[in-house]
Structure formats: structure tokens, C-alpha cells
A = this chain, B = another copy of it.
């Protein structure tokens, strides 16, 4: 397996009354069985397209040429899209983006998932249209943010490049339905790629929405899917829920909510390259489970940084959280501290140590301290962080979320509550138009 899933410190046997009792845990695992059986059936029938993604190849054939083209011609690639049309791509891009410019020979990716006019103005000012590619992603084809962004960008790019060239710079990704984005693409001759109608935004990271940016950034889409397939295969073939890590995770999260009122789920990778993973997880978990008055609140942290920000609360505040630490094997990584430089007695613990040693020690110490203080903590132990591991982690959390929804008795798909706000925002916009000519 691409990761080791260590959950013993979520249980009362190990950490005392802050943990889940053996009885509740056993009941939770039992309750996962029908969910796993349903997943297996959906997989075999092909009725849940998410489960078919790991082994698809035909779609990659459709968008890989676009990625290769964008990669070869552009210095900047802008992705218009928000929520599930952005967070998956951001998560994958973080594997290569260290904040100091893109790797040689690859464009810089800009995920414009907000409509702040200040940020957008800075973007437009920074871009050189001739060296810029744009991808506009909206599953429904009707999301206000990417449509507004595209509508503002189009006349600028047309003025700079000419209408005939727009299709070489702008691609849209949307469902194969007649929708506003598709109509706009047809009017301006923009090529379009298909967003699978059966894969909701927050479950779409392993589809074109995540993999197209990933390919442009030079990542291996096949390896991402292969890692996901390993986790899926294991879950579908597991003899019992206990041997399916996503089921174990769901049983613990829901069990802690019901038995211990643990209503918050903190994800805390000790890896900068997983910092965006937390944002992706937060959408996945919140939108899938936050329904009918239930659900737990996902919170993202990053280790070791947030030891200096959140750990006080985690250790000494209310007992309302479970923790998922992601620990990469980084002991020995990075340059070592010269022993002569650290000859100060107060720095003895740093002599000959590397930053990797320090990060490793801090991650383990935090896990241990949380457990000692009776706070449920599980570990994802990673020997490496590459596409395979990333794909595996993504699939782990998607399956865990679907199973947890089953245990909570809510529908993991759809986000009915946000509709009211959308309608109201459109009403406010219409009212504004009175005062503008």
C-alpha cells in the first residue's frame, strides 16, 4: 500500500475515554459492510462513475494533447473555476510548485477561484496573451465566477490576438449539455473537453478537472490513477471493513461523533506539498456530509507550523476534535547543521541534525503528545510523496467520505443548501442593474 494507516490512537483502549470504545468501533465497522457492498455493486455496474475513473484511459487520450500543447506554447496557464473545479488541480499542482516559479520548461499555473477585482486586475496586468493559455472549468456550464472571468478576459484576448486565434488559447471543460459556457465556446470557436456528468466537482480530481492541470505541470496522470486504483481495489476486495482503510476511517470519525461528540476533523500534513490537500479535503468532507443538521467540520492545519498556532487549543481546549496527521519519512532529508556551528549547549539537540530530522521529530512528538493527552489521532505514514501516493490518498478520502455519508444517513452527493444563496446573489445583481446604464 502506498501509505500506512495507523488508527490505534483513536481508540479508548489506547488513549482512554477521549477515544472510541471497542463496542462502538466494532458496531461502526459492522455498519460499513453494507456501504462497502454497495460500492462494490456500483463499481461492477458502472453506476458510480467515480469508481471507474482509476482505470479509464480513453479520457486521458482526449485531453493529453491539449496539455502537451499548452505546456509547449505557454509561459502562464490560467484556470478559471471554483470549488471542485479548482481545488483538485491546486492539490496536484502543489506537488511541483514550491512558490519559486515553475520547474524549467513548464508554464506557471494560476488557479483563479475567486472574483476579487483586485486580484483579477493584477492577473490581467501580469499576463501576456500571446504566451498565455486559459482553461475555464464549470461542470454545469453556469457557474457565475468562471463565466464572469471569461467574459471579461475574452474581449482583451480578442483585441490582442484576433478572434481566429482565441481557440488556440482558451479551452472550456463542461458537461456535454447545452449550457451557457458551451454556447459561449461555440460562438468564439473555443475547443471544449467533456466533464463527466456523473462525477461531481468535489469528486473530480482524478478526472479532466484535476488531471489536465496536472499534465500541464508535468505530472504523471497514469500514476495518479494507479495509486487510486490500489486503494479502491483493496476496499472493494476487503474481506471485512477492518481491512479497508477508508472504512476504518469512516467508522472512527462517525463513531467519535456519535459517542464522544467529536464534531471536528483536523487534517494536518507535516509536508508543505500537502498543504493544498487540506483545502481539497475540507470541501469534500464539508459538502458531502454537512446535511440535515449533521456532519463534522473539517479543519486544515499544516505541521510543524501550526504547532505554533493551533496546538495549544488542540491539546488543552475542548475534546471535540479528531486528528489525521500525515507524516512523510523525511528523517535525514536536507542539509545537516554543522556540529561546530551548534556548539552552544542550548543548541545541542540540533547538532548534526537536518531539517528533515527536525520535521520528523516534531511530527512524531505531536502525534505522541496528542495521544498522551487523550486526543484521538490517526497517522498516514508515507515513505515517499509522488503521484502514486497522492492518488492513493485522494481515493482514500473520497471513499472514506462516501462511506461516512452512508453511516450518517445522508446523501454524499449534491449540495442543496447553497442554492438559496445563489438565487439571492442573482437577485442582488439584478437590482444593481437599475442604477447602471
Contact = CB atoms under 8 A, between A and B. Distances in A.
Interface of A: 82-84, 87, 98-101, 110, 113-123, 125-126, 142-145, 147-149, 151-152, 154-155, 179-180, 183-184, 201-202, 263-264, 270-273, 279, 282-283, 286-287, 289-295, 297, 299, 302, 304-305, 307-321, 330-335, 337-338, 341-342, 344, 346-362, 364-366, 368-369, 372-373, 415-418, 420-422, 424-430, 432-433, 436-437
15 contacts: A83-B308, A117-B356, A144-B358, A184-B344, A286-B312, A287-B312, A290-B310, A293-B319, A315-B420, A316-B416, A349-B429, A350-B429, A358-B429, A364-B428, A365-B425
Nearest to A266: B297
Given A184-B344, A293-B319, A308 B82 contact: yes
Nearest to A422: B365
Contacts of A180: 344, 346-347
Given A126-B101, A294-B317, A417-B315, A361 B425 contact: yes
Contacts of A294: 317-318
A331 B432 contact: yes
A282 B302 contact: no
A338 B188 CA distance: 15
Contact of A338 (B151, B179, B337, B362): B151
Nearest to A82: B308
Given A118-B333, A365-B424, A297 B299 contact: yes
A355 B152 contact: yes
Contact of A421 (B123, B334, B344, B365): B365
Contacts of A365: 421-422, 424-425, 427-428
Contacts of A123: 98, 100
Contacts of A286: 309-310, 312-313, 317
Contacts of A110: 99
Contacts of A357: 429, 432
Nearest 9 pairs between A and B by C-beta? A290-B313, A83-B308, A117-B334, A290-B317, A98-B122, A283-B309, A365-B425, A365-B424, A286-B313
B312 A415 contact: yes
B151 A342 contact: yes
Nearest to A348: B430
A426 B342 CA distance: 14
Contacts of A337: 148, 151-152
A18 to B, nearest CB: 12
A425 to B, nearest CB: 4
B152 A335 contact: yes
Nearest to A115: B355
A156 to B, nearest CB: 8
Contacts of A311: 415, 417-418, 421
Given A117-B356, A309-B287, A295 B272 contact: no
A335 B120 CA distance: 10
A263 to B, nearest CB: 6
A436 B309 contact: no
